Amino acid sequence: MGVWGGARRRTAPRVLIVVQNIPVRIDRRVRNECRALLDAGYGVTVICPKESPDEPDRHELDGIVVRSYQPPPATSGLVSYLVEFIVCWLRTARLSVRTARAEGFDILQACNPPDTYWLLGLLWKLRGKKFVYDQHDLCPEVYEARFGKRGALYRALLLLERATYATADRVVSPNPSYQEVALTRGRLPIGRTTVVMSSPDPELMKRGEPHPQLRGGREFLVCYIGIMGPQDGVDRLLDAVAHYVHVLGRKDTRFGLLGYGDSLDDLRAQCTRLGLDDWVTFTGRVDQAELGRWLSTADLGVTPDPPCEFNHRSTMNKTLEYMAHAVPVVATDLRETMRCAGPAAEYVPDGDPVVMAKTIATLLDDPRRRAQMGTAGRQRIETELAWGDQARRYVAMVGSLR
Backbone φ, ψ for residue 226 (5° rounding):
130, -165
Are 34 and 161 in a shared domain?
yes
- The answer to whether position 352 is within a domain reads yes
Q: What does the pLDDT look like over 130-155, one tens digit per residue?
A: 999 999 999 999 999 888 888 899 99
Are 44 and 134 in a shared domain?
yes
Concatenated DSSP letters of 106-118: SEEEEEPSSS-TH
- The answer to whether position 205 is within a domain reads no
Are 173 and 150 in a shared domain?
yes
* pLDDT-derived band at 73, boundaries 50, 70, 90: confident
* pLDDT-derived band at 76, boundaries 50, 70, 90: low
- The answer to whether position 57 is within a domain reads yes
Q: What does the pLDDT look like over 254-309, one tens digit per residue?
A: 999 999 888 999 999 999 999 999 999 999 988 889 999 999 999 999 999 999 99
Which one, of 35, 36, 29, lies nearest residue 315 by Cα?
29
Are 114 and 259 in a shared domain?
no
pTM for this structure?
A: 0.88
CA dist., res. 390 & res. 396, Å (int): 10
Q: What does the pLDDT look like over 238-247, one tens digit per residue?
A: 999 999 999 9
Are 189 and 220 in a shared domain?
no
Own/partner pairs, 122-128, CB within 8 angstroms, 24+ separation: 122/167, 123/93, 124/96, 125/167, 125/169, 127/4
Identify the pLDDT of residue 402: 78
For residue 61, what are the domain limits?
Answer: 5-199+386-399
Are 19 and 70 in a shared domain?
yes
Q: Name the average pLDDT for the chain.
A: 94
2: left (phi over 0), alpha (psi -120 to 50) or beta: left
Q: Which of 3-12, 17-26, 374-383 has the lowest mean pLDDT?
A: 3-12
Are 180 and 63 in a shared domain?
yes
Are 194 and 218 in a shared domain?
no
Are 245 and 337 in a shared domain?
yes
- Tally of structural domains, the chain: 2
Q: Which of 68-82, 280-294, 310-324 has the lowest mean pLDDT?
A: 68-82
Residues 6+ apart with CB under 8 A from 55: 68
Are 339 and 222 in a shared domain?
yes
Identify the pLDDT of residue 308: 93
* pLDDT-derived band at 4, boundaries 50, 70, 90: very low
The CATH number of the domain holding residue 284 is 3.40.50.2000
CA dist., res. 158 & res. 370, Å (int): 42
Are 179 and 248 in a shared domain?
no
Edge-to-edge strand list for the sheet holding 220-225: 280-284, 253-258, 220-225, 300-303, 329-332, 345-348
Are 252 and 182 in a shared domain?
no
Concatenated DSSP letters of 288-342: HHHHHHHHTT-SEEEE-PPPSHHHHHPPPHHHHHHHHTT--EEEE--HHHHHHHG
- The answer to whether position 204 is within a domain reads no
- The answer to whether position 188 is within a domain reads yes
Q: What does the pLDDT look like over 82-123, one tens digit per residue?
A: 888 899 999 999 999 999 999 999 999 999 999 999 999 999
- The answer to whether position 206 is within a domain reads no
